[in-house]
Amino acid sequence: MTRDAASRRRWRDAPLALAMLAPSLIVLGAFVLYPLARAFWLGHQRCDPTGANCRSNGWDQYLDVFRSEEFQQAFGVTFRFAVLTVPVGLALGVGLAVLADKQLRGMGFFRTVFSSTVATSVAVASLMWFFLLNPSVGVLADWIGGVAKNPGLLQDEDTALWAVAISSIWANLGFTFIVVTAGLQSIPADLYESAYVDGASGWMRFTNVTLPMLGPTLLFAGVVLTSRAFQSYGEFDLLTGGGPNGSTTSLTYLVYGNNSIIKNNSGLQAAVAVLLFAVLLVLSLAQIRGVERRVHYGN
Amino acid sequence: MATSTMPRGWRLAGRYTLLIVLTIVVLFPIWVMLVGALKPGNKVLQDPLLPTHVTFDTLREAWRDGNLGRALVNSTIVALIVTVAQVVTAVLSAYAFAFLRFPGRTFVFGVFLATLLVPFEATVVVNRSTVQDLGWLNSYQGLAVPFLATAFGTFLVRQVFLTLPKDLREAARMDGLGHLGFLREVAVPLARPTLGALALFGFLSTWNQYLWPTTISTDDDWNTVQSGLRALAQAQIDKPNLVIAGTVIVALPIFVILLVFQRQLVRGLTAGAVKG
């Protein structure tokens, strides 16, 4: 083949490829890549508190934000929120999935029930728990009593983040249950049979067969739940408004919340948004490695 | 029972007891919500666990006060636009990556990959001003356009296309099918289960969006169900059972849809779906 012909072949599909890729490229470029680059630029600009008169003055605003008390508190809140929600959510999801995994009568019903919270949006789940925990009419507030009645779990600085975490664990339970159930079903039955023949008890089969075989699934679910926890916004907006006293002001709430002290300062908002991206980038890279492992060692 | 001292019957009974208790725990918030939504405002403190004094007045009032009819229409339109567009853009771009040879393919694919690393929450600050500059605040375009394509969809469909045997394309070429014919007649039909999962997933994640509609819908008429619910919750903070009635109205359609499409949802979630 002549070089001319080879080059023509190389380019022959190019116009069609461009036409097929253009819609995706335009959307992703305009609403994912451009805003990230633009936020990176905006984040170094110093604005006055109303968001006007922004001007470039070196890149040290990122350092200032990173060192500021507000950012560190919000990072701490976000981190604690992830620590409160992810391990408990995973453990509950695994427990429910293992219980409902046997081929017994009625398991279809239980599976539907345990998957059901996947249908609740963040607004729906949050308002359900807002109702349950409402100090004057909430059933749970009545049962718990004490601080739950006055001022209310969501209104007390020491309990607010816990209360938001419970709502979030409940809302994510359906997702975790579905993913772990799928993982359980991909474990070959003969592994259990040989463990059974070897005389392993139920608990030993769980720790020696189920958990190791679920490894990639748990890693996947854990990373998804962690990155969701870091991106959570609606829970804080609806349940606590970032309060009381900043005890539930997450990174996302610091950027977007109505009560945030940087609400009108686009430079600072962009800076925090970029730092949020940086935090999530680390998590996303962990997730990609997790997905790769899933492909290599999974079913 | 070589390995257990407990008789099989007892273990089974224990398992079912535990399952029933956990069912009650998981469904408890949903039950309290339904009971609360069916009570009149002045009876909300009476029998919070039992459906006494049942009335539909609270639901009706929430429907009216929250402008929820309009919000349901808005959410449906936006979610349908996004769903169709996501499937189409995913199929087209996945086909280009899987079946076409062009210079820079690896690089462009890398760019797609990179967009997966950008959380939407980090881009809203700028996207809001983009949409504002376009004059799209309070509009269907504004609600839908940022989500018309996702790299996630492209990857999912590309994975399926890559599993199709190369001979299939050759045979189709012999039969005189061009790329578009092959895409329509062979590739898309074979990818249908994945496309179904992608469609359901796109619909759900659009329907459940919270930050974006609360950011760009400043006018009551352009609320989606989620931002409408937020508006209702903030306007009626003193009427908890009115807010919970609105929550029921917003929650119900999705529960029904998910009961119907359970299988597609499982496929979508386990395929590595990350946005919630």
- Is the pLDDT at B7 greater than 80? The verdict is no
Cis amide leading into A151 (omega within 30): yes
Optimal mutation site among B15, B123, B239, B249, interface A, most CBs of chain A within 10 A:
B123
Optimal mutation site among A9, A18, A31, A260, interface B, most CBs of chain B within 10 A:
A31
Domain interval for residue A247: 61-297
Cβ B226–A104 below 8 Å, yes or no?
Answer: no
CA distance B189 to chain A (A): 18
Residues A18 and A130 in one domain: no
CA distance B133 to chain A (A): 13
DSSP H or E stretch at residue A55: strand A55-56
Position with higher pLDDT, B127 vs A107: B127
Residues A84 and A136 in one domain: yes
Q: For B255-274, what is each residue's pLDDT tens digit?
A: 888 888 877 777 777 665 43
- Is the pLDDT at A251 greater than 60? The verdict is yes
Query: How crowded is residue A212: how many other Cβ atoms within 10 Å of its Cβ?
Result: 10
Residues A237 and A284 in one domain: yes
Tokens of A46: 């110093």
Do the domain assignments include residue A13? Answer: yes
Residues A146 and A23 in one domain: no
Q: How sure is the predictor about B276, in pLDDT bands with cuts at 50, 70 and 90?
A: very low
Q: How sure is the predictor about A285, in pLDDT bands with cuts at 50, 70 and 90?
A: confident
Query: How crowded is residue A286: how many other Cβ atoms within 10 Å of its Cβ?
Result: 15
- Domain containing A211 — which CATH number? 1.10.3720.10
pLDDT of residue A299: 35
Q: For B99-158, what is each residue's pLDDT tens digit?
A: 999 999 999 999 998 998 898 999 999 999 999 999 999 999 999 999 999 999 999 999
Cβ B102–A11 below 8 Å, yes or no?
Answer: yes
Tokens of B249: 């109205």
Cβ A132–B15 below 8 Å, yes or no?
Answer: no
Q: For A183-230, what is each residue's pLDDT tens digit?
A: 888 888 888 888 888 888 888 888 888 888 888 888 888 888 998 999
Cβ B130–A116 below 8 Å, yes or no?
Answer: no
Q: Distance of CA B47 to CAs A136, A150, B50, B157, Å?
A: 14, 21, 5, 51
From chain B, the residues in CB contact with A119 under 8 A are 251, 254-255, 257-258
Domains and CATH numbers, chain B: 8-55 (no CATH), 60-270 (1.10.3720.10)
Do the domain assignments include residue A93? Answer: yes
Cβ A199–B3 below 8 Å, yes or no?
Answer: yes
Cβ B265–A178 below 8 Å, yes or no?
Answer: yes
Burial class (CB in 10 A: 0-12, 13-18, 19+), B107: exposed
ipTM for the complex? 0.88
Q: Distance of CA A110 to CAs A71, A96, A100, A177, Å?
A: 43, 9, 7, 11
Closest in A9, A179, A202 to B4, CB measured: A202
At residue A45, the 3 state secondary structure works out as: strand
- Is the pLDDT at A294 greater than 60? The verdict is no
Cβ A119–B258 below 8 Å, yes or no?
Answer: yes
- Please, what is the Cα angle at A270 between A268 and A275, to 5 degrees? 95
CA-based nearest residue in chain A for residue B213? A234
